[in-house]
Amino acid sequence: MEDKFNPVNRLYRLLSQVNQTIVRVRDRQQLFDEICRIAVQDGGFRLVWIGLIDQGEKIIRPVSWSGYENSYVQNILVSTQNIPEGRGPAGTTATTGNFVVSVDIENDPRMLPWKDAALKRGYRSIASFPLTINGKITGVILFYSSEVNYFDQEEIQLLQGLSDDISFALEAMEKEKQRQEALDLLQQEKEFNEQLIKASPTFFVAIDPLGKILMMNPCMLNALGYSLEEVRGKDYLTLIIPETERSKVQKIFNTLVSSREPTLNENQVLTKGDQILLVEWHGRSIIDEQGKILYFFGVGIDITERKKSEERIKYLSYHDSLTGLYNRAYLEEEMRRLDAPRQLPLSIIMGDINGLKLVNDAFGHKQGDELLKHIAKILKESCRQEDIVARWGGDEFLILFPKTTTNSALQVIQRIQKLCKDAESTTIPISLALGLATKETSDTNLEVIISQAEENMYHQKLNENRSIRHTLITFLEKSLQETTQETKEHSMRLQEMAQQ
């Protein structure tokens, strides 16, 4: 059964688990299987399946699924052509690259080819998202719910981000596959002929025992911005290795001389235009029959973008993608770490944005997102580096203050309120309900402190709610006053909302 009673926990738990899986798993099929399993187990969906586009057959071929399936996916026919079997959510996503949601399978004509089988298995709504590699649509991921109208805006935004992260991982796997293919070729072949080296998409370089460059292939020359004439005979370390890396690379050469064993390492190289690339090298000594070293031979893969991808995936595991603040998964880990006597007093501020729904309704979610990002910036500016500022939920934030008294935390609240007030002249009026609680002794449960902070926050929200809503409604009304009848009616609806 879908966990709609606590959607924020479920959504962030799903995102965190999937991103951690992306970081850990390197095999594509295992990745697909894990994602489907996690989406059902932690996301609470009735069925999740992934399909890849078969360009020859012009169909979407299921490759992984989890949940209550009962032969539904195994027998499904989804086309990528303009026929009834190609006009459902999966087919439309595969051909357009857009996400598609069917909020009511029973009454959606697009779902006619699969309606009876879906309803029989308890599927009531469905959402489909694209999977891409280097911008090309290669597959789809579909989420099935047992509830009509299940997929709200927040759900869709999360799942869209989730499909983007999966696509990011698939691109990294594709690059890793290419890298592994190059290494396998190196294992199978001890010597490459000149034509193969010239045509290779990987870096090749030969260096004599004195460190002078003998040969460099076109791929490496193009990446570095040199011609062969510019590098031949030049000192390898001086020409292309940054000064901070030279001692490290010299040690690698020393290892090749002393052990004669192949080496595997990563180091930076410097282009002609002073750009830094990160390269993974497989090096070896080429030795004659008398055991004399003729030259060092290196095969390299530019892993600059791969490293950036890995760092981004790692970053997304613990950060909110919209605001850049820590996410709930990271915050809960920090709570366990900071819940120790040496961190006392431990103060907590819980914040809730007043009027975010009104902003979204009046100006759209894009403006609401900008408001969230602005508030996140204010919170970070108001806190110390050692404080933990996190997005707790949709419009809620939580801040941990280790070794901080109540009075010190109150000063932070005052700074936050001042920055919010200072921003009113240039932005939508910013109003935060803030609640504070402090853990003074070790025997107090931290969950109790969080509940106290939340209770204090809601108490402030109730006390100031009407005044804040009036201020925000006045601003919204002023911003929306135009001459058209449609705008006037919108303004009247805002007035009615203010009286509720």
Mean pLDDT of the chain: 87
Domain identity same for 260 and 354: no
CATH of the domain at 111: 3.30.450.40
Could you report the per-residue pLDDT of 382-410, keeping only the tens digit for each? 999 999 999 998 889 999 999 999 999 99
The mean-pLDDT minimum among 180-189, 208-217, 248-257, 310-319 falls in 180-189
Domain identity same for 105 and 141: yes
Domain-located, residue 262: yes
Q: What 8-state DSSP symbol labels residue 430? A: P
Measured in whole angstroms, the distance separating CA 229 from the mean position of its chain's CA atoms is 44
Domain identity same for 143 and 46: yes
Is there a contact between 295 and 208 (Cβ–Cβ < 8 Å)?
yes
> What's the CA gap between 106 and 71, in Å, rounded?
19
> What's the CA gap between 464 and 429, in Å, rounded?
14
Is there a contact between 78 and 88 (Cβ–Cβ < 8 Å)?
yes
355 exposed, middle or buried (CB, 10 Å; 0-12, 13-18, 19+)? Answer: buried
Report strand pairing: 136-145 vs 47-54. antiparallel
In the chain, the percentage of residues whose pLDDT exceeds 90 is: 58
Domain identity same for 119 and 211: no
- Bridge partners of 264, per DSSP, are 282
Chosen domain end from 116, 143, 173:
173
Enumerate residues 6+ apart whose C-beta is below 8 A from 164.
none
Domain identity same for 240 and 140: no
Q: Which two tokens stand for residue 33?
A: 């299987």
Domain identity same for 228 and 365: no
Q: Which residue reads 């402190």 in tokens?
A: 449
Domain identity same for 69 and 144: yes
Is there a contact between 56 and 97 (Cβ–Cβ < 8 Å)?
no
For 92, list phi and psi in degrees, rounded to 5.
-65, -45
Average pLDDT for 486-490? 58
Enumerate residues 6+ apart whose C-beta is below 8 A from 310.
23, 172
Q: What is the DSSP string of 306-317?
A: HHHHHHHHHHHH
User: Residue 470: what pLDDT?
Assistant: 63
Q: Which residue reads 């000064």 in tokens?
A: 243
Domain identity same for 23 and 166: yes
Domain-located, residue 2: no
Chosen domain end from 307, 331, 365:
307
- Give the total number of structural domains in the chain: 3
Average pLDDT for 450-458? 93
> What's the CA gap between 231 and 221, in Å, rounded?
9
> What's the CA gap between 17 and 158, in Å, rounded?
13
Is there a contact between 67 and 40 (Cβ–Cβ < 8 Å)?
yes
User: Residue 3: what pLDDT?
Assistant: 47
Closest CA relative to residue 297, chosen from 315, 279, 284, 312: 284
Q: What is the pTM of this model?
A: 0.43
Domain-located, residue 181: no
User: Residue 408: what pLDDT?
Assistant: 94
Could you report the per-residue pLDDT of 404-432, keeping only the tens digit for each? 999 999 999 999 999 988 876 556 777 88
Domain-located, residue 312: no
Domain that holds residue 77: 7-173
CATH of the domain at 259: 3.30.450.20
Could you report the per-residue pLDDT of 78-104, keeping only the tens digit for each? 999 999 999 999 999 999 999 999 999
User: Residue 4: what pLDDT?
Assistant: 45
Enumerate residues 6+ apart whose C-beta is below 8 A from 192.
200, 204
Domain-located, residue 178: no
Hey, how many other C-beta atoms are within 10 angstroms of the C-beta on 348?
Answer: 25
Question: E-strand spans in 338-460?
Answer: 346-353, 388-391, 396-401, 432-439
Average pLDDT for 182-191? 66
Average pLDDT for 493-497? 63
User: Residue 492: what pLDDT?
Assistant: 64
Chosen domain end from 276, 307, 338:
307
Domain identity same for 43 and 134: yes
In the chain, the percentage of residues whose pLDDT exceeds 70 is: 87
Domain-located, residue 184: no
Domain identity same for 76 and 194: no
> What's the CA gap between 197 and 167, in Å, rounded?
32
Domain identity same for 392 and 469: yes
Q: Which two tokens stand for residue 408?
A: 């010190």
Could you report the per-residue pLDDT of 135-178, keeping only the tens digit for each? 999 999 999 999 999 998 888 998 999 999 999 999 988 888 88
Domain-located, residue 315: no
Domain-located, residue 316: no
Domain identity same for 244 and 289: yes
111-to-36, 37, 70, 101 alpha-carbon distances in Å: 22, 25, 18, 11
